Chain A
Amino acid sequence: MALTLMKGSEAIAEAAIRAGARYFFGYPITPQTEIPEYMSARMPEVGGCFLQAESEVAAINMIYGAAGTGARAITSSSSPGISLKQEGISYCAGAQLPCVILNVMRGGPGLGNIQASQGDYMQGVKGGGNGDYHLLTYAPASVQEAIDIMMFAFDKAEQYRVPVLFLADGIIAQMMEPVEMPEMVDFKIDPEKKPWACTGWKPGDDPAKRGVINSIYIDTESLTEHNEVLQTVYKEIVANEQKWEYYNTEGAEFIITAFGTVARIAKSAIDELKKEGVKVGLVRPISVWPFPYDAVREAVMADSVKAVLDVELNEGQMLQDVKLAINGAKPIDFFGHYGSQMPTVDEVKAKIISMKEGK
């Protein structure tokens, strides 16, 4: 198949449409505004719906409405807007509604800036909204990877009845890369496959099949039961859906952990260090929830590995998961920036060299 040069935001939007998304609700915010702009032009061409909501709060609740009918619905935003969506995300998780949410992360806290950031890792994987829930969360490192994940994101969301979150830093949306765009998936709402959806129940039908999209379970027993259902699903996801990439981990003296665009910088540093005779490997979590704890631990526990360096575009958020994975077995160091200034290849190299020299 031919490669096309595409901007990340547009490629991600087109991939969502190819994956069967026909309902987009969103609100403009840099650096992801090209996604709603693209959707506004493209959705009518495929018989879909683009609607600019009055706020991110409304947009995620429109997703709640559309997803409850069984349709494939998607919303996108950037950090401050994702904060506004947290209420609705928690409701989607509680009501077990499959949907896709894109966070093209920018600097924070507060209004922060409009440059790339990875500052919403904690918000994405450790909660964000209220209650005991998780989102199947992916952190793509290239435009192609974002497309590829999008092509199965709705399937996973529907299989487990959970919202899927993309944690993409601003660079993924803003850069152009040659990509291969998959064929259009033929998706139709199928009440058989989604017996829980609101698809036209009428009095006289089986009462158990009436569509009730809901997250309230007022007595302790029924809420316990409901949460047990959710937790069972989360356990299955942890068992089956961990994704990661190993790069040069064989015989490495140091292991770098990094996700998203930062991992690509780490790779460049690793390549240069290799030429200089320093063996460094990378573990890149692709699913950040479920976090690939075992994969990180396995790479780090190899005899050759002396220490670990976690590199992020924040103050060390994934670092906590890396520490949990390693559980004190090897020393861990951190390098990162938190003003949206990308760590450079030279900085990562210098950090590894200083670790090697025992500084």
Chain B
Amino acid sequence: MSQVVFEKTQYLTDKQFHYCPGCNHGIIHRLVAEVIDEMDLDGKVIGVAPVGCSVFAYDYFNCDMYEAAHGRAPAVATGVKRVVGDDTMVFTYQGDGDLASIGTAEIVHAAHRGEKIVTIFVNNAIYGMTGGQMAPTTLVGQKTTTSPRGRDEAWCGAPIRVAEMLAQIPGSYYIERVAVNNTANIVKAKKAIAKAFRYQKEGKGFCLVEVLSTCPTNWGLSPVEAMKWLEENMIPYYPLGVYKDKEA
């Protein structure tokens, strides 16, 4: 007799991901979808996709979805949440160019208002979709197509630490930074995402989970090398952990 030991969550569609081999977007999608599935929301969930490599997230998450303008997902989610109220979960899924550059006003003010949404912030230290330009999160010295000699701090500043920044805002409720570079961290990441959604369900306030992520394609590394680069370069500058938890 055969026995099903693993099934893809029903909150992901059957559409094949378009992500590059070794890209972490796929893992993060699965974690978010599993958390939603485990919450038994009976369709009471609406997601907002960004502009970036995850622009087609509306094709992958199997629930009502929006595709927002570049950086505006938190404002779109605000409009949604103000209509649907506490019992429908609203989340945004955004990259670092989207959230930490063009969309800084929208994310800061969503946090400031204590907007009861969850933001999944995928920080891969680069603009993936447009072919590897410098992001506000690009590390000092990191070479990109618009910082060909490596990011020069004197010229364009040091990388923004979003979790730390948003934790300072009175309206934010829960902020954690995680990574999906090994099994232990994947488990932690899922727990963080689940906590964020639980807080939203309880009507608590603005929750953001920053997920450090790879972009092997634009980093010019193999998937394995990319994971190693993330561990050796990103985690030291972007330490993992809880930056704010009003309940703790």
Contact = CB atoms under 8 A, between A and B. Distances in A.
To the question of whether A and B form a pair in one complex, the answer is: yes
Interface of A: 23, 25, 49, 51, 53-55, 57-59, 61-69, 71, 73, 87-88, 91, 95, 198-205, 207, 210-216, 218
Contacts of B10: 203-204
Contacts of A63: 79
B82 A210 contact: no
B63 A61 contact: no
B69 interface: yes
Interface string B169-206: 00000000000000000000000000000000000000
A213 B44 contact: no
A256 B41 CA distance: 61
A69 to B, nearest CB: 4
A214 B61 CA distance: 14
Given A23-B83, A203-B11, A51 B75 contact: no
B90 to A, nearest CB: 9
A199 B64 contact: yes
Contacts of A55: 105
B120 interface: no
B66 A68 contact: yes
Contacts of B55: 216
A51 B82 contact: yes
Chain A interface SS verdict (over half): mixed
A202 B44 CA distance: 8
Given A65-B83, A198-B80, A213-B65, 8 more contacts: A57-B75, A57-B106, A62-B76, A69-B46, A69-B83, A203-B11, A203-B63, A215-B67
B62 A58 contact: no
Contacts of B65: 198, 210-214
10 contacts: A25-B79, A58-B75, A64-B76, A66-B83, A95-B67, A203-B11, A212-B67, A213-B67, A214-B58, A214-B65
Nearest to B106: A58
Interface string B29-62: 0000000000001111010100000011010001
A199 B65 CA distance: 10
A201 B66 contact: no
A71 B67 contact: no
A92 to B, nearest CB: 10
B69 A91 contact: yes
A33 to B, nearest CB: 19
B109 interface: yes
Contacts of B112: 54
Contact of A62 (B42, B67, B82): B82
B73 to A, nearest CB: 8
B84 interface: yes
A198 B79 CA distance: 12
